[in-house]
Amino acid sequence: MTDTKDLAGRVVLVTGASRGLGYAAAKNAASRGAHVIAVARTVGGLEDLDDDIQALGSATTLVPMDLTDGEAIDRLGAAIFERWGQLDGLIGNAGALGVLSPLPHVAPKDFANVFAVNVEANYRLIRSLDLLLRQSDSGRAVFISSGAALSAKPYWGLYAASKAALDAMVKAYAGEMAITEVKANIFYPGQVRTAMRAKAMPGEDPKTLPSPDEVAPRIVDLVSPAYDRTGMRVDVLKGEEPL
């Protein structure tokens, strides 16, 4: 979509950056010149990412953190303000599948955890980082959702409901940002060779699926200053349409 260094000098935060799509998106953003703030629970995965990004000649800031800790997200926003004064891109990638189960059989703790990660954590990120995105000349936020939000197939009710809530929340936020330079969008990656996909579809041959590295550039395109649409659902299989 854009020049290969379209993110030069920009600061991009990626959640769920220790593996899968988040890892690949962080690497891609770094390869395009961004300083990446990499957030995840798994320290080892973050350290591997740091090695890969240094090999690209770029820099990263590692933030080992559980996104269900809302106060930690608030502290992260304050720390970004102190160091950079703004944030140019937010990739809200971290997600939880939960259990695939008849809805009446879903345990309350599983329900609460999936909504904590897929919905509440992203709300807390928006709450903490909104003013920082506004300080950028072209703040961009993209959140990774799923076609499950629309299909809501049997046994997928928990995950589908959480992603539908995320879509609705981002649609509202995009509308609120209409008179600013901030753009907020949703990305549907389709079927990707990730650990979450393997958990959901254990009998599937992963070699039939695209790798995270193949999909990640499409995600990172949405935090480039060149991408000026907002309130969109960008589906890797079906194209773009308004949320």
Active site residues: 159
Phi then psi for residue 176, to 5 deg, are -65, -25
CA distance 124 to 70: 6
CA distance 114 to 130: 23
**Buried/exposed 182-215: b ≥16 CB within 10 Å, e otherwise:** bbbbbbbbbbbbbebbeeeeeeeeeeebeebeeb
As a dihedral over the C-alpha atoms of residue 92, residue 93, residue 94, residue 100, rounded to 10 degrees, the angle is 120
Say if CB 37 and CB 63 are below 8 A apart. Answer: yes
What is the phi-psi region of residue 98: left when phi exceeds 0, alpha when psi lies from -120 to 50, beta otherwise? Answer: left
CA distance 2 to 233: 20
Task: Work out the burial of residue 4: count CB atoms within 10 Å of its CB; fewer than 13 is exposed, 13-18 middle, 19 or more buried.
Answer: exposed
Instruction: Give the amino acid at 129.
Output: L
For 74, 109, 158, the CA distances from 99, given in Å and listed in that order, are 29, 11, 8
